[in-house]
């Protein structure tokens, strides 16, 4: 993405804009204003936002300009299941219009404290499940942006903000980011705190980030962790072992374009003498899917008890007869057993992948689906969420319809910094090959 | 406790009151009214409540009387870190007076749906940590009720409600329940959903119950799990193996009375030919304490980011220089290591306790402390919270000052029903011996 050439600040990544602010070539106010103008220009079509605090955001930017310290006023959007004080948390429903928290989610408080400006709340599917919101894909409004972090992916892809918060319980960051052609990052389970975020399936729920550059993800990761963690600027990919995992869905569910592009990419990497082996995890991936359905069903049914009990009639059919039905089939005893099976399955996967530093696998089955009714399948994400392994989607392929297709890379739990470094390098290699 | 003889409905357990309602000898309205009268009579001294919905509660009771179905209008108090719609969640702080959630915590929604009436919010220590609220011990107002579920334990002990919700991250249910002479129950980690409850240390936080009878705990457990789980009405204790665990704190930190009473009780059980062995877990218990301090410190610091960032000056010194300082010492990398150590330590404890069905150990170091400044030490609870094992405190001993002393029993994860059954039988045996 050659966005540096574009004229307006909204097209910059956060790191690029911060560099200009440091050089006094851009003010925080101009940056935020440019994002808000972009939203004004595009929101009618993209519909990424459920709430915007225009005046408040500009005022904060002005204040930070006056202070002129290392708080750079990074404009950020938060998925609307994350509490931001004095903005409604509607969670993709019709019945929480006046649900205005007084307390920021931990991630929000930490970001604000580091000089981020939360300009508004982005569209989520209903309660973070499957029923879609109005958001369209910025690359073509006839296509879904994916979900559940629909608005976050679309807003970043449409240059409305450089960074948004998303959450993932199955494939809710990686898939929309892939469909919208941006970078989606689901960290190791537990790396980012979840206080103040609607729980879906607490054993799996992961707060993550969507951005247009790995640098921005690395910066936000350090902000959220409140510590300076080593950032891998340049990595020698020859030192790492890669597994190419097609998954059992490759033949039947993947479209031709994803197959071709991904295989071509693997071939290029092999030519460059990178250490890549194909690894078949079909049995464990299928088992993951089974475990995930039942476990997340049970936990989801409980997490959203207030909504199903007090607002049942206002919930979508897909929710009532989807995950809620999965949950109703389960008992505490089955759930307990399942937790043991999850652990067993995770250990098996970790053992099989032990010799690799990084897995390369599809982000989603092909390009975004046409129509806004379905946000697509998370089949290529389930295993990595269930095991708590960190995952990124890199926006490096295009479909025949000129829609983005992502390449997902995954690593061991706790290996996020290396994964981000690998991702940065892979994007560079791909862009060089493209030239 | 011979409360059936007392004249007012507030002195009944929930099961006793429900029996009378079924027999048309008591209305739900009378029950709730009696509890509210008791509160009016005693609240000046006990100070268990931060919020009461008197009118709403009576209206709900009236409505349920009119319906006259199996929703019995059980009056319940919720610790004030649990969201109840349209009641402020103040979390023991001065800065959340207008924090009024629109959405019930899952446990609250489920309870209400089953016919419980949330009559109000009970005092918690500041953000569920150590800085005390105004609550006094109903057995003697010069003594602490324990914490952090201070108001919940005191309200139940003072016959203001038959049941209250509490939460435990270290010893926040078991200790106050023991100090106040009631039954505290911390289920297996994860048994009850935590949506809508302030997180403290999410890996450890456990929603639980305080009541005056095991029957009431069993009933509420079934309500919260939304399924009919087997209730052990009568258990043959001769079939079980018991471990008596003194812990490394026995000599130095435990008072003489707890030692004597507990040893006498163990002796009585041995005389009855129950299978009891003494088990020394000192090394693992000391290790648990270390792990707990660092792990909960790290998670707590993150969970309450909004509060420490936006309201630092209004936080107590004990919070700022206690768990927050523990948290500041930790990095993500140390946290990750600690998670591995936690798991390892847990497996070792489970292995050592494998042959036992139930552990008998002190609930707290002696009777409640004099003065309201400190809520007491959770040293006898840390290990069982860290391992996620279910625990109950049984109010079966008295100190020389005529204050209650609890006996804690603990079991394997997932063995809650058996543990509750054992608890019921132990109370019976103790009461027979007392006669």
The DSSP output letter for A354 is T
Catalytic residue among B27, B57, B71, B79: B79
Tokens matching residue A316:
């979508």
* Among candidate residues A432, A435, A380, A376, the one with its CA nearest the CA of residue A403: A376
What does the mean pLDDT of chain A come to? 95
Query: Does B234 fall in a domain?
Result: no
- Cβ–Cβ under 8 Å, residues B407 and B390: no
Same domain, A131 and A12: yes
Q: Is the peptide bond before A220 cis (omega within 30 degrees of 0)?
A: no
Other Cβ atoms within 10 Å of B97 Cβ, number: 11
Tell me how far apart the alpha carbons of residues B157 and B177 are, in angstroms, rounded to a whole number.
8
Q: Which of A199, A229, A306 sits opposite B104 (nearest CB)?
A: A306
- Cβ–Cβ under 8 Å, residues A107 and A224: yes
Same domain, A373 and A402: yes
Nearest CA in chain A to B335: A191
Query: Does A231 fall in a domain?
Result: no
Same domain, A158 and A51: yes
- Tally of domains within chain A: 2
Task: Return the axis-axis angle of helices A28-46 and A150-157, rounded to nearest 10°.
Answer: 120
Active site residue A348: no
Tokens matching residue B188:
């297996």
What does the mean pLDDT of chain B come to? 95
Query: Does B2 fall in a domain?
Result: no
Task: Give the minimum alpha-carbon distance from B218 to chain A in angstroms, rounded to a whole number.
Answer: 15
Same domain, B245 and B209: no
> Final residue of a domain: which of A169, A200, A225?
A225
Show the domain range for B249.
241-434
> Final residue of a domain: which of A180, A197, A225?
A225
When pLDDT is cut at 50, 70 and 90, the band that residue A433 belongs to is: confident
Same domain, A164 and A117: yes
Same domain, B167 and B303: no
When pLDDT is cut at 50, 70 and 90, the band that residue A431 belongs to is: confident
Tell me how far apart the alpha carbons of residues B413 and B240 are, in angstroms, rounded to a whole number.
16
Task: Give the minimum alpha-carbon distance from A96 to chain B in angstroms, rounded to a whole number.
Answer: 8
* Among candidate residues B249, B191, B213, B49, the one with its CA nearest the CA of residue B134: B49
Query: Does A430 fall in a domain?
Result: yes
What are A342-363's pLDDT values in tens digits? 999 999 999 999 999 999 999 9
The predicted structure's pLDDT at residue B4: 46
Q: CA torsion, points A297, A300, A305, A309, in degrees to nearest 10?
A: -50
The DSSP output letter for B212 is S
Q: Which of B113, B225, B310 sits opposite A332 (nearest CB)?
A: B225
All residues of chain B having their beta carbon less than 8 Å from the beta carbon of residue A201 are none
The gap between the terminal CA atoms of chain B, to the nearest Å, is 12
Same domain, B182 and B289: no
Active site residue A303: no
Cβ–Cβ below 8 Å for B193 and A110: no
What are B4-31's pLDDT values in tens digits? 445 899 999 999 999 999 999 999 999 9
Q: Which of A112, A195, A332 sits opposite B191 (nearest CB)?
A: A332
> Final residue of a domain: which of A225, A251, A281?
A225
* Among candidate residues A86, A60, A69, the one with its CA nearest the CA of residue B306: A86
What is the domain-level CATH number for residue B44? Answer: 3.90.1300.10
Q: Which residues contact B15 (CB under 8 A, 6 or more apart)?
A: B213, B215, B216, B219
Tell me how far apart the alpha carbons of residues B40 and B45 are, in angstroms, rounded to a whole number.
10
Same domain, B208 and B326: no
Its pTM surpasses 0.90: yes
Query: Does A206 fall in a domain?
Result: yes
Residue with tokens 């729920």: A205
* Among candidate residues B228, B200, B188, the one with its CA nearest the CA of residue B413: B188
Query: Which residues sit opposite B243 in a β-bridge?
Result: B277, B359
Task: Give the minimum alpha-carbon distance from B365 to chain A in angstroms, rounded to a whole number.
Answer: 32
Q: Is the peptide bond before B418 cis (omega within 30 degrees of 0)?
A: no
Q: Which helix (H) or strand (E) holds B397?
A: strand B391-398
Q: Which of A99, A106, A227 sits opposite B305 (nearest CB)?
A: A106
Query: Does B288 fall in a domain?
Result: yes
Q: Which of A193, A305, A331 sits opposite B109 (nearest CB)?
A: A305
Q: Which residues contact A188 (CB under 8 A, 6 or more apart)?
A: A388, A389, A390, A413, A414, A415, A416
Distance of CA A174 to the CA centre of its chain: 5
Tell me how far apart the alpha carbons of residues B145 and B156 are, in angstroms, rounded to a whole number.
11
Task: Give the minimum alpha-carbon distance from A177 to chain B in angstroms, rounded to a whole number.
Answer: 26
Tell me how far apart the alpha carbons of residues B379 and B356 are, in angstroms, rounded to a whole number.
22
Cβ–Cβ below 8 Å for A193 and B96: no
A-side interface with B, Cβ within 8 Å? 85, 96, 98-99, 101-110, 112-113, 190-191, 193-196, 198-199, 202, 225, 227, 229, 299, 302-307, 309-310, 331-332, 336, 339, 414
All residues of chain A having their beta carbon less than 8 Å from the beta carbon of residue B229 are 332
- Cβ–Cβ under 8 Å, residues B112 and B40: no
Q: What phi and psi, each to the nearest 5 degrees, are found at residue B404?
A: -70, 150
Active site residue A289: no
All residues of chain A having their beta carbon less than 8 Å from the beta carbon of residue B191 are 332
What are A46-97's pLDDT values in tens digits? 999 999 999 999 999 999 999 999 999 999 999 999 999 999 999 999 999 9
Same domain, B282 and B153: no
Same domain, A167 and A286: no
CB contacts < 8 A, A to B, total 102
Other Cβ atoms within 10 Å of A24 Cβ, number: 8
Same domain, B246 and B217: no
Cβ–Cβ below 8 Å for A104 and B306: yes
Q: What phi and psi, each to the nearest 5 degrees, are found at residue B237?
A: -65, -20
Mean pLDDT of A358-377: 96
Q: What phi and psi, each to the nearest 5 degrees, are found at residue A168?
A: -135, 125
Other Cβ atoms within 10 Å of A371 Cβ, number: 10
What are B87-134's pLDDT values in tens digits? 999 999 999 999 999 999 999 999 999 999 999 999 999 999 999 999
Same domain, A220 and A242: no
Query: Does A113 fall in a domain?
Result: yes
- Cβ–Cβ under 8 Å, residues A37 and A246: no
């Amino acid at each position: 993405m050659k966005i540096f050439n574009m004229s307006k600040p909204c097209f910059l990544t956060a790191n690029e804009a911060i560099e200009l602010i440091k050089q006094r070539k851009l003010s925080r106010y101009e940056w935020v204003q440019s994002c808000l103008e972009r939203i004004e220009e595009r929101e009618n079509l993209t519909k990424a936002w459920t709430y915007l605090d225009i005046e408040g955001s500009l005022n904060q930017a002005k204040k930070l300009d006056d202070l002129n310290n290392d708080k750079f006023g990074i404009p950020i959007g938060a998925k609307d299941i994350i509490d931001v004080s004095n903005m409604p948390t509607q969670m993709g429903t019709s019945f929480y219009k006046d649900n205005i928290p007084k307390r920021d989610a931990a991630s929000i408080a930490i970001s604000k404290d580091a000089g981020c400006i939360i300009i508004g709340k982005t569209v989520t599917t209903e309660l973070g499940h499957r029923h879609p919101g109005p958001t369209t894909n910025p690359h073509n409004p006839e296509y879904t942006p994916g979900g559940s972090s629909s608005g976050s992916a679309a807003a970043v892809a449409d240059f409305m903000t450089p960074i948004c918060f998303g959450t993932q319980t199955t494939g809710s960051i990686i898939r929309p980011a892939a469909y919208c052609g941006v970078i989606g990052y689901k960290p190791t389970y537990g790396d980012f705190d979840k206080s103040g975020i609607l729980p879906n399936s607490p054993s799996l729920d992961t707060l993550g980030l969507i951005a247009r550059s790995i640098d921005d993800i690395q910066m936000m990761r350090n902000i959220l962790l409140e510590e300076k963690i080593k950032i891998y600027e340049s990595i020698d990919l020859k030192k790492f072992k890669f597994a190419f995992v097609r998954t059992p869905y490759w033949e039947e569910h993947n479209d031709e374009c994803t197959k071709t592009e991904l295989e071509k990419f693997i071939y290029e990497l092999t030519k460059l003498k990178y250490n890549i082996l194909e690894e078949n995890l079909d049995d464990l991936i299928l088992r993951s899917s089974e475990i995930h359905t039942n476990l997340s069903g049970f936990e989801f049914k409980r997490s959203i008890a207030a909504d199903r009990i007090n607002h049942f009639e206002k919930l979508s059919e897909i929710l009532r007869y989807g995950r809620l039905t999965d949950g109703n089939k389960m008992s505490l005893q089955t759930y307990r057993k399942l937790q043991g099976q999850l652990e067993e399955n995770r250990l098996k996967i970790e053992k099989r992948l032990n010799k690799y530093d990084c897995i390369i696998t599809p982000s989603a089955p092909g390009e975004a689906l046409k129509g806004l009714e379905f946000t697509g399948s998370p089949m290529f994400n389930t295993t990595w969420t269930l095991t708590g392994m960190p995952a990124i989607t890199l926006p490096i392929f295009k479909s025949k319809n000129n829609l983005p297709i992502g390449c997902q890379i995954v690593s061991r739990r706790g290996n996020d910094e290396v994964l981000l470094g690998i991702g940065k390098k892979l994007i560079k290699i791909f862009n060089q090959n493209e030239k």
